[in-house]
Amino acid sequence: ERPSQDAQVRVRRTDVWGQLAQVQRARGQLDEADRHLSNAVNSLTELVDAGEAGGVVHCVEALREAQASLGQVCVQKEDYERAEKLYLAAFSRAPEGHGEAASEGAK
């Protein structure tokens, strides 16, 4: 029961990071938005890869949203190579689209 609760807390934390990143991005604080979204992508990737998330489908969708948002921040920062990796991971049709490219792009 505890691992499931820990996973739920981690998922909720990623939601908060995403909301913080939206505010920071709107204020032009792109490095801070990048940091929060990178944390969200890394955490969600770990949860999905470990199969710890109770709602894996929700986590995969949240991961894709975080990757796409981080990709937008990277475009604003003119880091186009990293943005491309994140977009490819986010919009990949294969369920494995969250793996290597996700953690690579979040660095």
- Cα–Cα distance between 6 and 31 in angstroms, integer? 28
Kindly state the percentage of the chain with pLDDT values over 70. Answer: 77
- Cα–Cα distance between 107 and 96 in angstroms, integer? 19
Q: Which domain holds residue 83?
A: 2-105
Which pLDDT tens digit goes with each residue over 18-50? 999 999 999 999 999 999 999 999 999 998 888
The burial class, CB within 10 Å (0-12 / 13-18 / 19+), for 74 is buried
Q: What pLDDT does 57 receive?
A: 74
- Cα–Cα distance between 107 and 103 in angstroms, integer? 7
Total structural domains within the chain: 1
**Most distant CA atoms of the chain, gap in Å:** 44
Residue 70, pLDDT > 50, answer yes
Q: What pLDDT does 96 receive?
A: 47
pTM above 0.75, yes or no: yes
Q: What pLDDT does 97 receive?
A: 43
- For 59, phi then psi, to 5°, come to -65, -40
